[in-house]
Amino acid sequence: MKKLFAVLGDPIGHSMSPVMHNDLFSFYNIDAYYLPFKVKSENLQDAVKGLKAIGAGGFNVTVPHKSKIIPFLDEVDELAASIGAVNTVVNDDGKLIGYNTDGPGFLSGLHTSFPSIDGKRVLIIGAGGAARAIYFTLAKERPAVIDITNRTLEKAQSLIEACPYTISSAAKSIAEAGKQIEEYDLIIQTTMVGMSPRLDEKPLDLNNLRKESMVCDIIYNPLTTQFLHVANGHGARTQNGIEMFVYQGALAFEKWTGILPDIQRMRENVLKQLGGKTC
């Protein structure tokens, strides 16, 4: 019988995950399908119980349910528990186990053009859920420093205090981080600033950027934010949010099926979907 996989969120209509995973199921001859479900927060527990009862193989969880889902699962892995957010659930013989593939997805994507952050100086812009997943994941990779800058400085400080891993970190104001930008080897933009339709906005001044630095933006709509455009103008290497999106999906697919899927195929599929959606 066909196995059901799903994504739960609200809103969910924009999700590119169904097309991406259904393509992989058919490519690898797996008798399964993947459906989006719009679930209100007050119905989340019932939705999870329902998916368990009907024997769904697993599911993704997206905004606004990534933290709220945790009490409804049977087990949560260590990284997801420390981040306090789950985006992937595996149904292991009736036991629902939660994982977070957002941070590891970012790291795998980064590795395609930045092989190691060991000893590197890293700046994360933003202190929300995405920043938290990336920060806690990178903190385990032995960088020299991970500083956090955020519009609301106290949130950057709280994020640093919440990190369970040993890491040298300071909270910086946006102005201070901008002035010191040449100190960083890797700069990661995790806020919504510059996302369509606010195309002209930039989160930080890059005037002092070194061309040896790498700049990532987790936004993929547009594919090149103003922030990445300016970084490119300084000769820096850049990466947009496609890699993180594709790899978080690939790591989820691997947890469900044991197959690490063809990344290039996923990338092309997502770019094709975005073709009709960007800007």
Which stretches of the chain bind ligand ATR, using CB under 6 A? Answer: 126-131, 150-152, 155, 190-193, 203
Which residue, 130 or 216, is less far from ligand ATR as judged by CB?
130
How large is the C-alpha radius of gyration of the chain? 19
- Positive or negative, the CA dihedral 56, 15, 68, 37 is negative
Which residue, 62 or 224, is less far from ligand ATR as judged by CB?
62
- Shortest distance, CB of residue 179 to ligand ATR, whole angstroms? 17
Q: How far does the chain reach from its first CA to its final CA, in angstroms?
A: 40
- Shortest distance, CB of residue 261 to ligand ATR, whole angstroms? 25
Which residue, 56 or 130, is less far from ligand ATR as judged by CB?
130
- Exactly one of 2, 40, 66, 277 is catalytic; name it: 66
- Shortest distance, CB of residue 277 to ligand ATR, whole angstroms? 18
Q: What is the C-alpha to C-alpha distance for residues 219 and 58, in angstroms, rounded to an integer?
A: 26
Residues in Cβ contact with 42 at an 8 Å cutoff, skipping those fewer than 6 apart: none
Question: Is 66 a known active-site residue?
Answer: yes
Cα distances (Å, whole numbers) of residue 229 to 9, 170, 171, 270: 31, 27, 26, 21
Residue 210, amino acid: R
Residues in Cβ contact with 58 at an 8 Å cutoff, skipping those fewer than 6 apart: 5, 88, 89, 90, 91, 252, 255, 256
Cβ atoms of residues 209 and 231 within 8 Å: yes
Q: Which residues are catalytic?
A: 66
